[in-house]
A and B are shown apart, each in its own frame.
Chain A
């Protein structure tokens, strides 16, 4: 162990029922460094960090903290030793307030609630986090919950903080403050382990990067020695970068207009927006958080309702439509693939087959009135094969799948309804690069087959690589349109922010 190392893992292995999730991994963390851990879904990143945080005990191997071998029975012991973990799924108690969650486990014998709120407010201000300490956690959005989770770790004066996908639900502005916070923590000598799917973030913020693949250590190097291609090659064993995010130069030709949105208005989020969607094309919609992209898509898909008075018009296949429920939109042939797959995308404890069959029922596409187990399994099998879902079978529960495969199930549920228009909202959020390639292929094949496809993404390289035409949303309306040939990141971003 080098003198600068605060933490070291030697030949650590973790097995579940004889299958190694992490195998013979060596890892070290220096004092005051930001160390990014990267890998595909299922590469073993979370298992590795859970062992460090005491949430999981290693099957074999050794963990050294400041040169001394340690073995934590639970996360509380790790926290006592100064190791905190901010989980991907927040571990906050929804029925308590933000401040109560912040002080949970650090309560004094006599707590004055007002004092707790004041000190929590001051603490959030010191972190530049805009969170109301008196708000119930259940009333917060995903980004704010993540902020409270981060603040909790910092509040515990941890020497080592592990962040598992911390930025997945943060807005660009919040990310900016989060990275500034990371750098401040680093200056204070805190060591940080940072798990992310966003390679640019890792390259931007970290000092060193470790890549895992299939539970094994592939590479650890200084960030300045690595680039995007090298990391992806290490993650998936091949170069995907140019395939994934190459700039589309030629667009598919215009065909029939499938959707015409005219002066659509919904509260303050969608303000008299107008655009058209064509069959056999991928229309990318880019916009920053709050630009009204998702709300517009949800109105089209019948999830939200437009304004009652002068809410505008939507024509689908030449017919004016006004959906009261998503089911009406589904029956007309509009599928919306949600950005929040865990909350809205699937029933996590149901099997793949059941999840898909539910959508068949919703679209009245089931073969008979009688629900048969064999039909459910057949539906599952068909789509597992079609979309190359990695699962043990149609009876696998969706909760058991990796993020990328869960997303494929969400897509399968929509495609089973035989849509004419598919709206993908952040289709590759929280998905590893290997699965991204598969998902992009699926999206392209849909457009090639003549289906109208909309891809909403806040990741510009994805928009540029997929889209035949790009619409830019700002302040609730579409403000600019680019063809595939004329678009570049700078022009799109300029239109999105000015």
Chain B
């Protein structure tokens, strides 16, 4: 009962969970132009799911899975799925798992350019956001939400759904079991060196949690107050991980999330691209929502509106703390960074919002 009163008071006073405060991008997250200055590799529609496979890099573009071995001007088609590819993962034995909305899980034989479908009961495939191998026979799968499909992620965010889960799939028996439930849109996961725990990004709570894969402990938040929505995680050669934040937070969206009547009317009546919601890219139409305002900066009065889209990749150390970050700011176009993989001396990044694959030199900072 006390909790109900506290929540009501918080809502009235605009504090606690009802606060519309946003963490700053400072310190290790201080904005720069590293993503905008990064080397252009390939212009392609909605690139995603970057993956190392031997000497090649695999990535998806819509329904297609493509591969590049050094020459980025000539990506080779590997397979084409029946629906948009949602997630991929590569195992220690070289096996590659591919998820799509229609067929669910398939295992790829890259040499034969063919896939074998695996029928996994109970797993809600339409909401797969990320996958990673725990060992050669076990796959960890993030289900963003059981209420909304992946393409409806903005609706899931605005409704503040807590309907996500992480599943363990035994590839020998094709059985799946949830190892963590009631998560707020898990969208990335990486198994840690001990093999017993995994780092999972919980997007709508703007945090990373440590998951005990043996389910002996409850998930523990290890990195909180992120200024964006955390997505995929990939291994970092210097230790730790790369975290992609696919969209920025802003106070207007936080406010709308708390205004139920307005939010529902907006989602019912306004086309999705014009919702007051974060996006992978923005600026395509003057009708897009803006939070208007002005501030005096360096003696000049500037009109101001927080961006709906942004490009941000963060380097995490072994203790899951940010140590460096690469940005594409409001004025940039390489937004909606959803996937990363270290390749050669650089970090290859998929800009799903900017329809581009780029490479950030890792000589310093990374």
The smallest C-beta distance from B346 to any residue of chain A, in angstroms, reads 22
Q: Please provide the chain B residues from 113 to 160 with a CB less than 8 Å away from any CB of chain A in the complex.
A: none
Instruction: Show 19 A/B contacts (Cβ-Cβ < 8 Å), sorted by A.
Output: A253-B323, A254-B322, A255-B317, A256-B321, A257-B225, A260-B224, A260-B225, A261-B24, A263-B19, A263-B21, A274-B21, A274-B26, A311-B15, A315-B23, A318-B224, A471-B26, A478-B24, A483-B30, A494-B298
From residue A440, how far is it (CB to closest CB) to chain B in Å?
A: 22
- Tell me whether A312 is interfacial, beta carbon within 8 Å: yes
B224, A315: Cβ atoms closer than 8 Å: yes
Across the two chains, which residue of chain A brings its CB closest to B16? A320
- Cα distance A264–B20 in the bound complex, in angstroms: 11
| Chain A residues within an 8 Å CB radius of B24 | 260-262, 274-276, 478
Q: Which of B271-327 contact A (CB under 8 A)?
A: 297-299, 317, 319, 321-324
With A315-B225, A318-B221 in contact, do A255 and B321 touch (Cβ < 8 Å)?
yes
- B295, chain A: closest CB distance, angstroms: 9
Closest to B321 in A: A256
* A31 lies within 8 A of chain B by Cβ: no
Q: Which chain B positions have C-beta within 8 A of A264?
A: 21
Indicate if the CB atoms of B323 and A254 lie closer than 8 Å: yes
Question: B15 touches which one: A254, A257, A313, A481 (CB < 8 A)?
Answer: A313
- Judged by DSSP, the binding face of B is loop
Q: B22 within 8 Å of A by Cβ?
A: yes
- Does B28 reach chain A (CB closer than 8 Å)? yes
Interface residues contributed by chain B, number (CB under 8 Å): 29
| A257, B13: Cβ atoms closer than 8 Å | no
Measured between alpha carbons, how far is A274 from B319 in the docked complex, in Å? 24
Q: Min CB distance, B321 to chain A, in Å?
A: 5
Smallest CB–CB gap between B30 and chain A, Å? 6
Is A322 an interface position by the 8 A CB rule? yes
Once the chains bind, are B26 and A276 in contact (CB under 8 Å)? Answer: yes
Q: How far is it, in angstroms, between the C-alpha of A498 and the C-alpha of B296 when the chains are bound? A: 8
Does A310 have its Cβ within 8 Å of any Cβ on chain B?
A: yes
Assuming the contacts A256-B321, A315-B225, asked whether A309 and B22 have C-beta atoms less than 8 A apart, the reply is no
Contact of A322 among B15, B26, B30 (CB under 8 A): B15
Binding site for B on A (CB under 8 A): 253-257, 260-264, 274-276, 278, 308-313, 315, 318, 320, 322, 469, 471, 478-479, 481, 483, 494-495, 498
Of B22, B29, B321, the contact of A263 (CB 8 Å cutoff): B22
Partner of A260, one of B23, B221, B251: B23
Taking A278-B28, A309-B14, A494-B298 as known contacts, 6 extra A-B pairs with beta carbons closer than 8 A to each other, sorted by chain A number, are A254-B322, A263-B22, A274-B26, A311-B14, A318-B224, A498-B298
Give per-residue flags for B1-18: 1 if the beta carbon is below 8 A from chain A beta carbons, else 0: 000000000000111100
Question: Is B27's CB under 8 angstroms from A498's CB?
Answer: no
Kindly list chain B residues whose C-beta atoms are within 8 Å of the C-beta of A263. 19-22, 251
A212–B224 alpha-carbon span in the complex (Å): 54
Rounded to whole Å, the gap between the CB of A93 and the closest CB of chain B is 43
User: What residues on A are CB-neighbors of B28 within 8 Å?
Assistant: 254, 278
Q: Are B13 and A310 in contact (CB under 8 A)?
A: yes
